Amino acid sequence: MAKQCYALLPQQHLIKQCDAVVPVPLHPKREKQRGYNQSTRFGQYWAKQLGVPFLNNLLLRKNETKTLVRMSRKQRWKEVENAFNVENNTHYKHLLLVDDVITTGATLTACGNALLEQASQKISVLAMAYAQNILP
């Protein structure tokens, strides 16, 4: 699916101007339980297609947040607030932040805020899916 999406992007698309790709991280405990991070796999593909670095360890989930699946919008925003931290002081002009699903945007906003504060001037977001109107 990612291959077809990339092929459809115009040459001057904003995503094609990114300096590096950063996946939304799982907490290490959750990633160990699951065995993989789907956002990492998605991001690795995009980094390869764009010919830019894949920064798997730039953004870290510092809090072991609860699963967001059954939470309301308000609960999701509160749960991920301040949950992410930038690991080093590397600075990029434009990062591509990738995730599996956008539901409320809470996770991507928390990640984006951490990156904008400490690692980048600009953030673009790319996800595999968008869930629309499913939460109270």
Give the pLDDT of residue 66. Answer: 55
Token representation of residue 51: 């010919």
Give the pLDDT of residue 69. Answer: 60
Which residues of the chain fall short of a pLDDT of 70?
1-3, 63-80, 89, 133-136
Contacts of 9 (CB under 8 A, 6+ apart): 15, 16
The dihedral over CA atoms of 128, 80, 123, 104, expressed in degrees to the nearest 10, equals 50
Give the pLDDT of residue 73. Answer: 63
Collapsing DSSP states into helix, strand and coil, what is residue 36? coil
